[in-house]
Structure 1
């Protein structure tokens, strides 16, 4: 910025960039409504534009947008998503979900993760990369599936089944990802005993942290007046979860999900906190998607091309086979379900990209390739996914 006649402080630069990102998101919303393009894809493309400008025009390959502010914003957005997902796991919803949704969902999750992991290992990719992408492949974008199903007006069993699966699918993804990261830490460490303790702490510590924050929050929620006090409570929960999980070295996604689940099941007025977070969630998600795209290392795109293509094809194969197995296991309802139902669960967005950022931080050697593969595949799955949902419903 040497051409600017007056100096810009880092704080002023960060504030201006935040304002510009939010302003661009308004334009992306308008484009998405008029073209039916996924707004998530548009925001990621904005981030890719930032990466191109920095790395190709300014020739700053190591520059990070917003410097140290980007990481906390991404962490807060991920914790918000996980907290809201935990709120979906109520006893009432799980009873209403029924065995059919659990059967198909677990089939798609298990077969899909196995297909991606085993396939990448067979193609010669490193263990850390294969297991990370296998766990990331589990996550689905519920918004894309829900919007497509509602737009179709379909109320048959297949439509209700899809809505039930995507309501809990990302929760499976967080659990699988937490187990995968802990397992990789143990498998790749030279000291098995220390690694096992670290893996146990990452998962067990997350459960303890989620419980330690969730129980008092469940008691407090509903005792505060609706409005500003509840909003302050909701923001305090998110910031405490994000900060303490980072400090203690535990899974922030799992801790936030446990907290949300406890509040949803133990508090009579739990919807107040979740509603307040839903009201403020989108600006943080805007930062998250744009910064995720801007984090892409363009120099690694060529070497990540093979990984990206393999991941896309293996994930599609895993979804098809998982859905087919789930329909076969459904037995008495088999005739009402399409065999290709797994294809309707291909959209992939925020949770998957968040997992990729966490995995890249955990395994920096493979970080650039992992992030490139997930960002590129997200653009493909977010564009292709709604069309596949339509196909399955037809």
Structure 2
């Protein structure tokens, strides 16, 4: 491979990026020339269909609820309504970048909500930053997402936080000492969670007896689980999404592994219970909220969501979608304009926004300071275990 010098490489990148910036018509500030009575266009990019479709659908319903509530109150900025333009990336790589270009260049949206999966949020983030389009991810927890630049935000905690939480929970609360890790080699989300869980668990005195890998889309995990079974471990940490986790749980039980499985917020979908059945009984995972909480804002959110969506109970992705839209709506009001730089500054200045998942404060890196909730599956339903309000010490 021929390597360019650092200076020449930077010049080439800048030269290639400039036409894209002009093509997307997003480098200058946007939104300042809108007619006062026109609806404000908000883009949403999510996995409405495909293998993470349950996540995307939940987040979408939460976003719709927040926007409908704002419009019912009379809109924002002196009576302007909000109009949501949703693009489905079908849970596929590449689709989010294409959708972002369309929403920004053709539809002239003032901001983008999405994506729920970290790897697909990264596709949007680079374009959002280049075009100065504020982006808020409901649920992408990989640290690299907001590192794309100062126009990229999230309302969820980071992988470093929930990986640390579960490592501490495994060692101190469950009393585990020997654990296996089964993670994806092709998911930024999985890699990040595995790294931080391992660092915390080993730092506290635990042992990672074996690490096994799989690729996104795999359906047969018996070879990895057989190797894990031979290692004499107390539990398996599986930082994956609900589709793989349900299959891994079933195949683990078929091989006689009755030990607990642990994971992250990617497990928090009713599809996990439907696919996994009895095999997911007794699992533990970290997530962003519990509909069982008695906090006033949660009770109100659950009631409104059930009324809007036919009695369905909102999961964590629905709550995060709602809070992402709430953050954008609140920031539009505080900015007093749709102009992109002012809107970005208002989002960044958020310090105490009360939503379905608690109080959100945006830090200097665009990340949200949030609590983590621990859930289990008991008698075929998700059950609240406890909450970690601040990052545990290592």
Alignment TM-score, normalising by the size of structure 2: 0.27
Structure 1 or 2: larger strand share?
A: 2
Alignment TM-score, normalising by the size of structure 1: 0.27
Structure 1 or 2: larger helix share?
A: 1
Which structure is higher in RCO with an 8 Å CA cutoff and minimum separation 6? 1
